[in-house]
Amino acid sequence: MVVNAAGRMILSTIADLDLAALDAMHRTNIRGTFVIAREAARRVRAGGSFVAFSTSVVGTQFPTYGAYAASKGAVEAMTLILARELRGRDVTVNAVAPGPTATDMFLTGKTPEQIDRLARTPPLERLGTPDDIAAVVAFLASPAGHWVNGQVLRANGGLV
């Protein structure tokens, strides 16, 4: 099993984002995921799995998340294609797309008011926890989740 959870999030309007910041984020989120996926494709044995990380913002389209969502949209495309490229190898390839989750990456730079507003956005009216997301990854990597393949699972408390 390989899980690639490395990611970088830089928030800015598209009009104002510094291109050096965009390049740094894409180097981690797109190139980093590509390299790990390539190595997983070469090494994961039958019955194994590869899980990448996207974001539910790809679907929610919150302002200032444009560059971040674009980088994670690339992760989703790679995930779906790799699942098909590994046809016949008995290896599952999926992505988890968390919604607002109480991690340092999510919390950093946000005011308590912003955090509270985002926590109330999902129908479950709370932030996800790292344990919530870990349980989804554990399922996808387990024998119970082996029939799930080529999917992006939005673990987000019910966000659209």
Helix (H/G/I), strand (E/B), else coil: 86:
coil
User: Are the beta carbons of 33 and 51 closer than 8 angstroms?
Assistant: no
Please say if 68 is a catalytic residue: yes
Residue tagged 């980093």 (tokens):
32
The catalytically annotated residue of 2, 68, 82, 93 is 68
Lay out the sheet containing 2-4: strands in order across: 2-4, 49-53, 92-96, 151-153
User: Are the beta carbons of 119 and 100 closer than 8 angstroms?
Assistant: yes
User: Are the beta carbons of 41 and 92 closer than 8 angstroms?
Assistant: no
Strand locations in 7-48, DSSP E?
none
Which residue numbers are catalytic? 68
